[in-house]
Amino acid sequence: MSQPAVSFQSVSKFYPTANGQFQALFDVNLDIRQGEFLGLLGPNGAGKTSLIAILAGLAKASSGRVLVQGFDVHQDYAQARQRLGIVPQELAFDPFFTVREALQFQSGYFGIRNNNAWIDELLHHLGLSDKANSNMRQLSGGMKRRVLVAQALVHKPPIIVLDEPTAGVDVELRQTLWHFIDRLNREGHTVLLTTHYLEEAEALCHRIAMLKRGRIVALEDTTSLLSAASHSVLQFKTDHMLPEELMALARVTGRVVQIPAKEAGDVEVLLGQLRQAGVHVQDMEIRRADLEDVFVTIMGEAGANDA
């Protein structure tokens, strides 16, 4: 069996607090295969950022260790970091450089010179060619996000870590970014993605790891996760309040209501309850469960087990 691209081995993390300490990660074990596209999903506060900070060498695990292609991120920091390209959540940039200069300086941090051909390719694929000589301060938030991606890839790392890369950016950037990252993955790059856009994870990731309160609560192929979902979903729009017994089952986003239904008989019962409550239904459809439905179910089960 080949060596994992990234291996989290019994990783725990404690942070000091005024009352003692807070444990953010509990004995996390996770191997990411070479060439894999893995999605790391979880609600806010699940421990995703702590895990990535430890991987990047920005934080130290309280116990356990992390290996990047066999190199320990703490003991062999330079070798491990050379193999990683990390796109952080925060927009961090030097306001005194142009886009091209920022990429050239980033290359220098990894001892790389005269890579203008690769920089030009990055600028082209990320829609930055016309901004190459623009000062970083002049760029919009979405354009700065593109530069962060280019900086992470400038040294051609075999492992790409994307921490909420499309948070708050436009649809065009999302499509451009995913087309390019998917291409790199097909060429053999390993990708670790954290995102709250679950449709992205469903479309792109080979496997999904779900984290809740510092613990891995699910780790499976995306296809297997979806096929294991035994229910369909009744989805519709309404301007009316749902009866209390249905509200407890439903996921409501604005006017859109989604209620799980295991079989056709359940749909008939649900529609009867809605009619009896005087709820007018529009644009009704019955669809297969998607990754968001699976995520909500698993997080709910994990919460019940914790309780």
Query: Does the pLDDT value for residue 113 go beyond 50?
Result: yes
In this prediction, residue 142 carries a pLDDT of: 81
Neighbours of 152 (CB within 10 A): 20
Q: Please indicate, yes or no, if residue 209 is contained in any of the structural domains.
A: yes
Residue 245 placed within a domain: yes
Per-residue pLDDT of 37-58, as tens digits, reads 999 999 988 999 999 999 999 9
Q: Is 45 a member of any domain?
A: yes
44 forms beta bridges with: none
- pLDDT band of residue 211 (cuts 50, 70, 90) is very high
Q: In what order do the strands lie in the sheet with 63-68?
A: 20-32, 6-17, 63-68, 71-72
Taking residues 92-115, what's their average pLDDT? 88
Q: Do 117 and 13 reside in the same domain of the chain?
A: yes
Q: What confidence tens digit (pLDDT) does each residue in 261-286 have?
A: 877 788 888 998 899 889 999 999 88
Please indicate, yes or no, whether residues 87 and 42 belong to a single structural domain of this protein: yes
Same domain for 203 and 236?
no
Q: What is the pLDDT of residue 232?
A: 82
Q: How many CB atoms lie within 10 A of CB 30?
A: 20
From CA 32, how far away is CA 162, in angstroms rounded? 14
Rg, the chain, Cα only: 22
User: Residue 251 maps to which CATH number?
Assistant: 3.30.70
pLDDT band of 302, cuts 50, 70, 90? low
Of 38, 154, 174, 167, which is closest to residue 55 (Cα–Cα)?
Answer: 38
Same domain, 218 and 246: no
Do 101 and 30 share a structural domain?
yes
Measured distance CA(170)–CA(212) in Å, rounded: 28
- What share of the chain has pLDDT > 70, as a percent? 97
Residue range(s) defining the domain that contains residue 255: 230-288
Judgement on whether residues 47 and 98 belong to the same structural domain of the protein: yes
pLDDT of residue 307: 44
Percent pLDDT > 90 in the chain is 50
What per-residue confidence (pLDDT) applies to 173? 77
Are 32 and 190 a contacting pair, CB within 8 Å? Answer: yes
**Secondary-structure breakdown of the chain: helix, strand, coil percentages, each rounded to the nearest 5:** 40, 30, 35
Q: Is residue 294 part of a domain?
A: no
Same domain as 210, residue 259: no
The DSSP letter of residue 131 is G
Residues 198 and 252 in one domain: no
**39 within 8 A of 197, measured Cβ to Cβ:** no
Report the pLDDT averaged over residues 163-183. Answer: 83
**Structural domain includes residue 237:** yes
Q: Across residues 182-202, what is the average pLDDT?
A: 92
CATH number of the CATH domain containing 148: 3.40.50.300
Strands (E), the chain: 6-17, 20-32, 37-41, 63-68, 71-72, 84-87, 159-163, 190-194, 207-212, 215-221, 232-237, 251-253, 256-261, 282-288
Decide if 4 contacts 80 (C-beta within 8 A): no
* Same domain, residue pair 29 and 54: yes
Tally of domains in the chain: 2
Q: Are residues 202 and 265 in the same domain?
A: no
pLDDT value of residue 174: 83
* 138 & 268 share domain: no
> Which amino acid is present at 203?
A
Residue 305 in this model has a pLDDT that exceeds 70:
no
Q: pTM for the complete prediction?
A: 0.84
pLDDT at 306 over 50: yes
Residue 297 lies in a domain: no
> Of residues 305 and 241, which shows the higher confidence score?
241
Residues 145 and 97 in one domain: yes
